[in-house]
Amino acid sequence: MPDHNGTHGGQYGALFGGVFDRGGADLSDAAWLQAMLDTEAALARALERAGLAPAGSGAAVTAAARAQDFDAAELGELAALTGNPVPGLARALTRRVGGQAARAVHQGATSQDIVDTAAMLLARQAIDAAKADLERAADAAANLAGAHRRTLMIGRTLLQQAVPVTFGVVAAGWLAGLDAAAAGLAQVRRTRLAVQFGGAAGTLASLDGAGVRVKALLAEELDLPDPPLPWHTERLRVIDVATAMARVTASLSKIARDVTLLAQTEVAEVREGAPGQGAPGQGAPGQGEPGQGEPDGGPRRGGSSAMPNKNNPVAAIAILGCAKQVPGLLATLVASAEQEHQRAAGAWHAEWQPFSDILRLAGSAAAWGNELLSHLQVDTGKMAANLAAAGGLPMAERVTALLRNALGGPQAHDLVANAAARSTSSGLPLRDVLLAAPELEERLREAGVTAGQIEAALDPAGYLGASNDFITAALEAHRAQPGGIHGR
């Protein structure tokens, strides 16, 4: 398993693999081939344990089942003759085993048993890798939430300034999504992975009454759950795994989109860091600028091929690039669930690449998410400056609440709306408009509202509602998660 600076040379190959093959699971052709061989080897061991294959068959098949000894390209060409690569693989494996032990190769199985079980083995690996990265990302989000409980910033709704929030409550929202996605992966891993073994039409008739035992032994050999019956044309397991992975990319894409917006030049409230740049979340960017070029003049982190000044949020962009591919892939898997009788004509075949791609993309997004949040730099000064530059307008709701009892709801709303419009058109702070306009001053005096009360209502630190409670609740829920931060 490579580190996150390398790739497996999977679907995207070397050229695009740095972005889309960044996860910790290997989903390359070689990995698929090995997973299918592992299934064949486990079947041979199960058959031997059940007394249906000669002694030593399991060990002989296992020793021969090494992906590096098979030609994946040749198997791909043979797949054009049979519709899938397993018949060619089974023949090649039989030749490599030889002797009496070769009788155990593929006995009782059909091609779909081998491919589906291999898919479950790869899914388990992909889930474990993605979950580990999600948990690290969630720990980083928890650190940000705790460190920035009182870091004021403008809240934004419909991409417009709203009421003040804290960056801590923003990070707590990110944390909740990551924890939910990780919990979903754990549940699917525990309840929805399963061995596939049904033979020609899902009855295991060729095993003469020993099918149920062999199925159970196969599951034991592979450490996969043993389902009540084969699921050749009942594809909810595939959909459930893919959906859990789609939830991973959904939770990460929300974070990534927030970061791209907060990192815009005109906003500049956060920026991406990179490994080796010091602890995240410590004031304005410093401690080594992100994206410095290599000593030999190579590309720098966040750089542009055309604009030397650029510092693009690479991790966030890569997450979004992964996430935007997943819904269409998931839709293909859902559409493929309509499968005829005991074996699908094409729908099963349509699952292979989308399923593998979803595992790969979700794992890559999770790896990027871990890097993004672990090294995110928060500019608290810029957050404060942006909030101050709003001229008090984000506090209009609180001022309206102050006036409501004295003036009534509609009148209070209209008065503050007019004052806000004057503030916007004149460039004066809302405070100055409210306290300096004679007609407003008279109405406020009649309502018994003092200048001191207006000043207090315009203090954003006093209008954070339950933000601190929400942060505490999110952190407590995270600590309770298996794998979450403990004792902080």
- Phi, psi (deg, nearest 5) at residue 376: -65, 130
Active site residue 156: no
- Residue 4's CB is within 10 A of a number of other CB atoms, namely 16
Q: Dig out the tokens for 214 from the structure.
A: 């062999």
Residues ≥6 apart with Cβ < 8 Å to 352 = 115, 119
CA distance 46 to 425: 79
Active site residue 304: yes
Catalytic residue among 150, 156, 213, 343: 343
Catalytic residue among 304, 426, 445, 479: 304
Q: Which sequence positions are flagged as catalytic?
A: 304, 343
